[in-house]
Amino acid sequence: MTPQLVSATAPNGADHAAVPSSRQADMADMADMAEYLLWLGDDALVSAQRLGEWITNAPELEEDVALGNIGLDQLGQARALLSYAGELLGRNEDELAYFRDDVDFRCTHLVSLPRGDFADAVVRLLLVGAYSEQLYAALTTSADERLAGIAAKAIKEVRYHVEHAAGWAVRLGDGTDESHRRMQDALNRAWPYLDELFDPHPLTDHLDGIAVDPATLKEPALQRITAVLDEATLTVPATQRVAGGGRDGRPSEHLGPMLAVMQVLARAHPGASW
């Protein structure tokens, strides 16, 4: 299955062909559109927040720079997506980032898992990156031009992120016994959370031609991931998935404490500008 915009999977292909390419968000239900933007924006924001925790803690100075760069790219994506969502919801990016509680976030559980060691960072970057690579590539042809524009910028960044993660996965997987063990452990820890990224959801059906059915991203993303794992001499875990729920207001236990840190100052001064 190749990744595709939702409308392309609709039984009536003629409808799809009739959708003008300039179709804008206001043709879709604005609340649905905002919700979808929160999915993507919250994943990016929470990933960036975790990467921010790495700065000054990386194994090499070069990696402080690299993880910082990747975090900055993700933060940039988050800001573009949340600003857009905010315009639909009558709130700005900071109100969305700092004044929503964990149950109002829409990120998947994988991105909010605790920082862990460098192997966890590499694995997460690879898994989330491989998903995002497919997601943004598909969204570049979204009927919503603004979202397509955000995706066109993001896809260039995400390709680098995946390459960076793949390089480390191979180095660490096929490095020393210890690094191999740590990578396999990290992979085993993250794997049960991977499926949630690809869970189909009624929301994308409502955003005909605009959103991507996550299920269509799974096969190509897994191909990319397993190719890297093969080269890294790592084994695809046989572990079962865990229940997600991040898209539906059932966040991971880790999101609350993360937001408590992220939001503490902004919430101490409500209404203030920074």
Partner 1 sequence: MHGDHAPATSAGPAGPAEPSASGQSSFDRVIAGDGRIEPRDEMPDDYRKSLIRQISQHAHSEIIGMQPEGNWITRAPSLHRKAILMAKVQDEAGHGLYLYSAAETLGASREDMMQALLAGKARYSSIFNYPTPTWADIGAIGWLVDGAAICNQVPLCRASYGPYARAMIRICKEESFHQRQGFEILLTLSRGTPAQHELAQEAVNRWYAPSLMMFGPPDADSPNSAKSMAWKIKRFSNDELRQRFVDMLVPQAQALGLTLPDPDLRWNAERGHYDFGELDWSEFKAVLAGQGQCNVQRVEHRRRAHTEGAWVREAAMAHAAKKAARQQQSARGAA
Q: Does 55 bind partner 1 (CB under 8 A)?
A: yes
Q: Does 53 bind partner 1 (CB under 8 A)?
A: yes
Taken in order 98, 157, 225, 206, the sign of the CA dihedral is positive
Which of 101, 104, 117, 231 is in the footprint of partner 1 by CB under 8 A? 117
Q: Nearest CA to 38 among 191, 217, 251?
A: 251
Q: Does 172 bind partner 1 (CB under 8 A)?
A: yes
Other Cβ atoms within 10 Å of 24 Cβ, number: 14
Closer to partner 1 at the Cβ: 37 or 137? 37
Whole-Å CA distances, 31 to 58, 90, 104, 151, 208 = 40, 11, 14, 20, 14
Tell the smallest beta-carbon distance from residue 146 to partner 1 (Å): 18
Q: Does 87 bind partner 1 (CB under 8 A)?
A: no
Q: Does 231 bind partner 1 (CB under 8 A)?
A: no
Q: Nearest CA to 84 among 46, 43, 40, 51?
A: 40
Closer to partner 1 at the Cβ: 183 or 217? 183
Closer to partner 1 at the Cβ: 68 or 237? 68
Which of 24, 69, 140, 141 is in the footprint of partner 1 by CB under 8 A? 69
Q: Does 12 bind partner 1 (CB under 8 A)?
A: no
SS3 call for 73: helix
Closer to partner 1 at the Cβ: 84 or 118? 118
Residues of this chain, 32-51, that bind partner 1 according to CB under 8 A: 45, 49
Whole-Å CA distances, 233 to 126, 171, 226, 229 = 15, 10, 10, 6
Angle between helices 61-89 and 118-139 (to 10 degrees): 40
Q: Write out the residues near partner 1 by the rule CB under 8 A.
A: 45, 49, 52-53, 55-65, 68-69, 71-72, 75-76, 78-79, 82, 93-94, 97-98, 117-118, 170-172, 174-176, 178-179, 182, 261-262, 264-266, 269, 271-274
